[in-house]
């Protein structure tokens, strides 16, 4: 069969759940028996998401092959339950860079290289390459931003060119928003009508409109959208807010979206395996017993709003683990700077069943995190530290247990007499050369576990072998690491090195004795937690939190 492509574009405004929509469409088609992959296009100039402030951009999702991508790539992985490679992610910067490099290498054979068609052609080449690399029958391509923005025009142009070349193999889905203004009390369809027209201006016609709103779309609105957006009423898919993103595939399936898409692509369902996922997604709504988890971070506030998107994979991983333990996850954002202004405030940590300190950079809020870790250690609150959360746990232990008063990471204090966390040698060169973009220690690296540790206990059911025999593979994003000069001294003081790189040189996991659960990893386990298969460290952290 010829390869099929589905473009997902947004209408009216950002933040309506285009990523979840794309991932859910991918899921339902996967369960109809097709090989599916998903591509994310971000319209900004940055080569990757790694150089952007998280508050501005949201989470940087790291792939196995070490790409720093958009959080939507994480959604695709979680819904498709398989890794997405770097080739499935592109930005305007990446696309232009290839075109320019090719021009410099004389690969355009002396032709005048133009924005159109050469730039959209590069986009098309990349999409097709991703489809081939993933052996995908159907590729979902999510175009970042909303229609009508200047920035994503060339990507919509790529979609138009692909549709023109193979009309039977390419679909366009518009995920649009229908507001219900309080003062009016009625769902308004006009912004979506405009979005649909704007899409038409690019030469594309929506094959489906996913009508995002607080409420389901009713008949009068469906008819209006049908007439004004030039679409049959059955292709308007009602997509009201639901309590969990994992319910969205079920919502689509109730409206037979999978079959309708396949029909328009001239395909038939090969099987129908959605029931298991739908049952699970309904089941997790029924858990009433809570597990209360606090997440200590600093990237939460933007103006008067709280932005938890920065830690989206961490949040999802906690949820997956809670559900696997038949619990309802209740998450609270804790700002580490509060513990600096008011040290007594750390006592609030006793109100939680467990605490997570996720990754981070720079010195804002660091001393607050260290005070929190001290309290967590002393009061035996289950703790999971991720990357910076591991490095700062090492600093805390060195300071307060091993007696190294000014211990620190050199990221914060390059002059400390006890640099228990220091820059990795190859990273130092990169920083001196101002070579910042995409140069951290990134992507999957193997880790071996020590027998008899909590980490070993967590992973071993998955490994079916003794820990010292097998490697686990985990994803990384860091420049600093545990300083091996302090290994002996810290181990003597009671720190457990529970995981290292296979050559033993890089400390990957630390643990504490005499504590219900104190595990902190240099890697980011949250990037490999799947809804029905939680990450073992998160699963056991929640288990301990419940106890
Ligand atoms: N800032 C630390 C480092 O660069 C931790 C990074 C992280 O938490 N992702 O090593």
CA atoms within 13 Å, Cβ hemisphere of 354:
31
Q: Is the pLDDT of residue 463 over 80?
A: no
* Percent of the chain clearing pLDDT 70 (strictly above): 98
Helices (H), 166-299: 190-201, 219-228, 248-254, 257-264, 274-283
The pLDDT of residue 469 is above 80: no
- Across the range 337-344, mean pLDDT stands at 93
Backbone torsions φ then ψ of 59, nearest 5 degrees: -65, 145
Q: Tens of pLDDT along 34-80?
A: 999 999 999 999 999 998 887 777 899 999 999 999 999 999 999 99
For residue 527, count other CB atoms closer than 10 A to its CB.
Answer: 27
Quick check: 174 pLDDT over 70? yes
- Ligand 1 pocket, residue 499 CB under 6 Å: no
Distance CA 254, CA 237 (A): 10
Q: 298 and 270 in one domain?
A: no
Question: In the chain, how many domains are there?
Answer: 2
The strand pairing partners of 213, in sequence order, are 240
Whether the predicted pLDDT of 468 surpasses 70: yes
- Say what the pLDDT of residue 52 is: 85
Q: Are 398 and 375 in contact (CB under 8 A)?
A: no
Confidence at 309, pLDDT banded by 50, 70, 90: confident
Please state the rounded mean pLDDT for residues 124-149. 97
Residues 49 and 172 occupy one common structural domain: yes
Give me the pLDDT at residue 30, please. Answer: 97
pLDDT tens figures, 276-302: 999 999 999 999 999 999 999 876 665
Residue 389 CA, closest ligand 1 atom number: 8
Which of 31, 418, 478, 524 is labelled catalytic?
Answer: 524
* CA–CA distances in Å: residue 143 to residues 379, 414, 457: 48, 42, 42
> Is the confidence at residue 456, as pLDDT, over 80?
yes
Which two tokens mark 435? Answer: 């070579």
CA angle 22, 60, 149 (to 5 degrees): 55
The alpha carbon of 477 and the centre of ligand 1 are apart by a number of angstroms equal to: 7
Q: What is the pLDDT of residues 241-262, one digit of tens each?
A: 999 999 999 999 999 999 999 9
pLDDT digits (tens, 9 = 90+) for 483-538: 999 999 999 999 999 999 999 999 999 999 999 999 999 999 999 999 999 999 99
Q: Where a domain ends, among 263, 282, 301? A: 282
Q: Is 360 in the pocket of ligand 1 (CB under 6 A)?
A: yes
Residues 278, 294: one domain? no
- 382 and 275 in one domain? no
Is 320 annotated as catalytic? no
Judgement on whether residues 96 and 18 belong to the same structural domain of the protein = yes
Q: Is 524 assigned a catalytic role?
A: yes
End-of-domain residue from the set 282, 317, 352 = 282
pLDDT tens readout for residues 188-198:
999 999 999 99
Across 376-483, where does the E strand assignment appear?
383-386, 408-409, 419-423, 441-449, 471-478, 480-482
Whether 314 lines ligand 1, by a CB cut-off of 6 Å, is no
Residue 304 is predicted with a pLDDT of: 60
Q: How far is the CA of 385 from the centre of ligand 1 (A)?
A: 12
Closest CA to 207 of 239, 237, 173: 173
Angle of helix 115-133 versus helix 153-165 axis, rounded to 10: 70
Residue from 53, 68, 357, 361 whose mutation best tests the ligand 1 pocket (most atoms within 8 A of CB): 361
Report the Cα–Cα distance between both ends of the chain, in Å, rounded: 53
What is the band of 307 on the pLDDT scale with cuts at 50, 70, 90? Answer: low
Domain range for residue 296?
A: 288-546
What mean pLDDT, rounded, does the chain reach? 94
Q: How confident is the model at residue 464 (pLDDT cuts 50, 70, 90)?
A: low
Check residue 6 and give its pLDDT: 98
- Which CATH number is 270's domain given? 3.40.50.300
Strand locations in 301-382 (E): 301-302, 305-306, 328-335, 354-357
Ligand 1 neighbourhood includes 472 CB (under 6 angstroms): no
pLDDT digits 0-9 by tens, 345-403: 999 999 999 999 999 999 999 999 999 999 999 999 999 999 999 999 999 999 999 99
CATH number at residue 328: 3.40.50.880
Residues 387, 447, 456, 467: which is the catalytic one?
387
Instruction: Name the closest-CA residue to atom 8, ligand 1.
Output: 359
- 385 in the same domain as 256: no
Contacts (Cβ under 8 Å, ≥6 apart) of 125:
none
Give residue 391 CA to ligand 1 midpoint distance, Å: 8
Does the active-site annotation cover 456? no
Instruction: Say if residues 177 and 210 touch (Cβ distance below 8 Å).
Output: no
> What is the predicted pLDDT for the residue at 535?
97
| Same domain (yes/no): 399, 454 | yes
Please give the number of the atom of ligand 1 that sits closest to the Cα of 477.
9
pLDDT digits (tens, 9 = 90+) for 229-241: 999 999 999 999 9
Of the pLDDT bands very low, low, confident and very high (cuts 50, 70, 90), residue 303 is: low
Residue 480 Cβ inside 6 Å of ligand 1? The answer reads yes
Indicate if 392 and 408 belong to the same structural domain. Answer: yes
Q: Ligand 1, residues 413, 478, 483, 507: which to mutate, most atoms within 8 A of Cβ?
A: 478
- Asked if residue 365 and residue 506 are part of one domain, the reply reads yes
Per-residue pLDDT, 301: 65
| Closest approach atom of ligand 1 to CA 360 | 8
Q: Give per-residue pLDDT as tens, 210-219.
A: 999 999 999 9
Nearest residue by C-alpha to atom 6 in ligand 1: 478
| Same domain for 351 and 447 | yes
Cα separation, 120 vs 46, whole angstroms: 18
User: Are residue 305 and residue 206 in the same domain, yes or no?
Assistant: no
Is 364 in the same domain as 262? Answer: no
Q: Which of 237, 261, 282 is the last residue of a domain?
A: 282
Structure tokens at 323: 């559900």
């Amino acid at each position: 069969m010829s390869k099929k492509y589905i473009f997902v574009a947004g209408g009216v405004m950002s933040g309506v759940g285009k990523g979840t929509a794309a991932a859910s469409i991918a899921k339902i088609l996967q369960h109809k028996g097709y090989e599916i992959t998903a591509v994310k296009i971000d319209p900004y100039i940055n080569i990757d998401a790694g150089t952007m402030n998280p508050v501005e951009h949201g989470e940087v999702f790291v792939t196995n092959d070490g790409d720093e991508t958009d959080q939507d790539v994480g959604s695709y992985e979680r819904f498709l339950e398989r890794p997405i490679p770097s080739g499935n992610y592109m930005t305007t910067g990446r696309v232009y860079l290839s075109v320019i490099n090719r021009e410099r290498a004389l690969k355009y054979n002396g032709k005048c290289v133009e924005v159109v068609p050469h730039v959209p052609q590069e986009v098309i080449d990349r999409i097709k390459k991703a489809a081939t690399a993933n052996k995908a029958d159907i590729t979902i391509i999510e175009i970042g931003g909303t229609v009508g923005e200047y920035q994503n025009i060339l990507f919509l142009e790529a979609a138009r060119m692909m549709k023109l070349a193979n009309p039977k193999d390419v679909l366009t889905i518009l995920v649009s928003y229908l507001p219900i203004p309080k003062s009016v009390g009625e769902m308004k369809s006009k912004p979506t009508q405009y979005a649909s027209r704007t899409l038409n201006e690019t030469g594309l016609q929506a094959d489906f409109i996913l009508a995002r709103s607080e409420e389901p779309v009713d008949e009068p609105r469906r008819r209006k959208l049908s007439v004004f957006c030039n679409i049959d009423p059955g292709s308007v898919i009602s997509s009201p807010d639901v309590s969990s993103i994992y319910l969205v595939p079920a919502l689509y399936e109730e409206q037979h979206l999978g079959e309708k898409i396949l029909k328009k692509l001239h395909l038939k369902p090969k099987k129908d395996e959605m029931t298991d996922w739908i049952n699970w997604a309904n089941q997790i709504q029924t858990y009433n017993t809570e597990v209360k988890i606090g997440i200590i971070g600093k990237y939460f506030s933007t103006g008067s709003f709280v932005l938890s998107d920065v830690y989206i994979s961490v949040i999802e991983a906690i949820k997956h683990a809670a559900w696997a333990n038949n619990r309802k996850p209740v998450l609270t954002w804790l700002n580490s700077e509060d513990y600096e202004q008011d040290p007594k405030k750390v006592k609030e940590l006793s109100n939680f069943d467990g605490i997570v300190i996720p990754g981070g950079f720079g010195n804002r809020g660091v001393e607050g995190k260290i005070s929190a870790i001290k309290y967590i250690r002393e009061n035996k609150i289950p703790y999971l530290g991720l990357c910076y959360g591991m490095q700062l746990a090492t600093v805390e232990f060195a300071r307060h247990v091993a007696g190294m008063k000014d211990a620190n990471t050199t990221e914060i204090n390059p002059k400390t007499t006890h640099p228990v966390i220091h820059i990795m040698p190859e990273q130092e060169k990169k920083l001196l050369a101002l070579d910042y973009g995409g140069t951290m220690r990134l992507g999957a690296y193997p880790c071996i576990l020590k027998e008899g540790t909590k980490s070993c206990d967590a992973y071993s059911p998955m490994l079916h072998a003794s820990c010292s025999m097998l490697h686990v593979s985990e994803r990384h994003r860091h420049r600093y690491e545990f300083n091996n000069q302090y290994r002996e001294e810290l181990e003597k003081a009671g720190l457990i090195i529970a995981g290292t790189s296979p050559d033993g040189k890089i400390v990957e996991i630390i643990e504490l004795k005499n504590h219900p659960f104190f595990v902190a990893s240099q890697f980011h386990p949250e990037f490999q937690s799947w809804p029905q298969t939680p990450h073992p460290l998160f699963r056991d952290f929640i288990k301990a939190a419940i106890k």
